[in-house]
Amino acid sequence: MKLVSYFRGEAFQRGVHPPSCKLTADRKIRRLPFPDRVTVPLSQHIGKTPRPIVRVGQEVVRGQPIARSDEWLSVPHHAPLSGVVEFIGLRPGMRGTWIESIVIRAHPGATQEDLWGRPRDLSQASGQDILQAIWDTGMVGLGGAAFPTHAKLSVPKQAKVHTLVVNGCECEPYLTCDHRVMVEHAADLIAGIRYAMRATGAVRAIIGVEDNKPDAVLVLRQAIADAAAAGVSEEIHVEAVPTKYPQGSEKMLIMALFGAEMPAGGLPIALGMVVSNVGTLAALGRLLPLGQGLTERVVTVTGPGVARPGDYRVILGTPLKFVLDYAGVPAVDAMDARQVILGGPMMGQAIGSLDVPITKGVSGVLVFRREDMLERESRQTYPCIKCGECVESCPMGLNPSTLGMLAAKREYDLMGEQYFLGDCFECGCCTYVCPSNIPLVQQFRVAKQILREKAA
């Protein structure tokens, strides 16, 4: 009810409330078995693609670097399995194209313990040392964007950061991996937050958690109290923010916590803030003292087509087919899985092949069956009836209705110049609410791509 939220004054204006469908919110994280073979794509993150530093036939142990680059905006990859490098070449990637990957065949008898990492003491390390250590772990944003974490946490010389905002919103329906990490690995998270605060020089950290996860809020508050009792002097707060999509966008989270609008086109650093995801920081808190590389992550495997949905600790490079077989997707055999989505239902990427591996940026695997798609497929598309739903739901305050009409006429330049197409971060709210079933955000993606190509 927009009328009510208008007067109640919610965290940020507009936005939508999709059914949360968090099927796996109360289930513990379980480990997925190791597959026989893993495929590690070289390009898993934003930035430069690292080069392989192993050759075919070479034996690798779990945690050993297998690809690296000397570029700043790039991170190394580590072997997720102890085994033999079987193949280096093109393999199916999540975007549909085939990408350069390293395939490792597991040794049947290996323990699969990470024996490569060397524990180290970072208690006296400087910010630069911590950033270097973060780079060594190969950490990227585990929330989905996969931006190299050391780059995100390094502050430019002229800027100053006072606040570390920790994003535990997880506003996407279905996904619960961050939720479970907060509940089960709160101590790791606090440790990771402290490393990040030292790396950035922030004096306080604020964890924003959507208020549909009260258990996470309680656990984190307890963990902070425990840490304070153990002599941790950093200021860390936990704040429950209203449940609303897209609360997990950093602009919306900063709006909810500080009531400040981030200037368009700016980064949080302009306000003296750095935003990072809870999953990333929890992994950092665990890996940094051990000196290990990122070889696994927590993935939510869920959806109506999954028999045993849950949050699984999956080693990177595990083929989706293996994950889905283990989670019990009868649909894979009965051939009625219609859609497999990496990420959440609002912004996730549908994939065309089950040979695609789990990479660092994959937070969820969502399976829809044929019958789940029927309703959407039978929907008629109408012309825009100008109901204004999209305008009332766009968190960026754009006018998707007019933008959509311009996109249909291919007036891309006008969209960019007068209607601020560049501000759109493709959250999909407009398409979610559109009663006419117009693929608005899809059109905007095309338009943005065309504008980018024009500019290039």
Partner 1 sequence: MTTPIEIRSAPHVQSAKTVEMIMRHVVYSLLPICAFYVFQYGVSALASIIVVTGACLLTERFFVGTGTQAGRLSDYSAVITGLLLALTLPPGFPLWMGAVAGIVAIALGKALFGGIGFNVFNPALVGRAFVQAAFPTAIATYTPSFLPGRFTEFIPSTLALPLMIPADPASWLKAKSLDALAGATPLAKWKFDGVLANADELLTSLSGHMAVGPSPLLILVCGAYLASRRFMDWRIPLAILGSAALTASLLYAFDAARYPNPFFMLFSGGLILGAVYMATDMATSPVTPKGMWVYGALIGLLTVVIRYYSGLPEGVMYAILIANAASPLIERITQPVPFGRGVLDRVKKRATYPLNPGYISREEANAVTPKKRFLPNKPKK
- Give me the least distance between CB of 174 and partner 1, in Å please: 8
Q: Which of residues 32-91 bind partner 1 (CB under 8 A)?
A: none
- Give me the least distance between CB of 20 and partner 1, in Å please: 5
Distance CA 416, CA 396 (A): 14
- Give me the least distance between CB of 116 and partner 1, in Å please: 34
Q: Which of residues 289-318 bind partner 1 (CB under 8 A)?
A: 303-304
Site size with partner 1, rule: CB under 8 A? 113
Q: Do residues 73 and 152 lie in contact, with contact meaning Cβ atoms separated by under 8 Å?
A: no
Q: Which of 49, 84, 48 is nearest to 64 (CA)?
A: 84
Determine the 3-state secondary structure of 414 from DSSP: helix
Among 171, 257, 283, 365, binds partner 1 (CB under 8 A): 257
Q: Which stretch binds partner 1 (CB under 8 A): 27-35, 121-129, 287-295, 399-407?
A: 399-407
**392 interacts with partner 1 by CB under 8 A:** yes
DSSP state of 16: B
**3 interacts with partner 1 by CB under 8 A:** yes
- Give me the least distance between CB of 363 and partner 1, in Å please: 13
- Give me the least distance between CB of 318 and partner 1, in Å please: 17
Distance CA 190, CA 206 (A): 11
**347 interacts with partner 1 by CB under 8 A:** yes
Which of 71, 261 has the CB closer to partner 1? 261
Range list of β-strands (E), 362-411: 364-369
Q: In what order do the strands lie in the sheet with 83-92?
A: 37-41, 98-106, 83-92, 59-60
Determine the 3-state secondary structure of 159 from DSSP: coil
Q: Do residues 347 and 172 lie in contact, with contact meaning Cβ atoms separated by under 8 Å?
A: yes
Q: Do residues 14 and 251 lie in contact, with contact meaning Cβ atoms separated by under 8 Å?
A: no
Among 108, 109, 119, 265, binds partner 1 (CB under 8 A): 265
- Give me the least distance between CB of 40 and partner 1, in Å please: 20
Which of 283, 421 has the CB closer to partner 1? 421
- Give me the least distance between CB of 69 and partner 1, in Å please: 30
Q: Do residues 161 and 273 lie in contact, with contact meaning Cβ atoms separated by under 8 Å?
A: yes
Residues 6+ apart with CB under 8 A from 401: 384, 386, 388, 390, 391
Among 259, 453, 455, 456, binds partner 1 (CB under 8 A): 259
**Token pair belonging to 314:** 């999956």
Q: Which stretch binds partner 1 (CB under 8 A): 29-37, 112-120, 276-284, 337-345?
A: 337-345
Q: Which of residues 185-244 bind partner 1 (CB under 8 A)?
A: 203-204, 206, 211-212, 214, 217-218, 221, 224-225, 228, 235, 237-240, 243
Determine the 3-state secondary structure of 67 from DSSP: strand
**326 interacts with partner 1 by CB under 8 A:** no
**412 interacts with partner 1 by CB under 8 A:** no
Which of 73, 385 has the CB closer to partner 1? 385
- Give me the least distance between CB of 188 and partner 1, in Å please: 19
Q: Do residues 94 and 356 lie in contact, with contact meaning Cβ atoms separated by under 8 Å?
A: yes
Among 398, 407, 415, 447, binds partner 1 (CB under 8 A): 398
Distance CA 112, CA 373 (A): 40
What is the residue type of 127?
G
Among 399, 413, 414, 451, binds partner 1 (CB under 8 A): 399
Residues 6+ apart with CB under 8 A from 410: none
- Give me the least distance between CB of 35 and partner 1, in Å please: 17
Cross-strand bridge partners of residue 310: 301
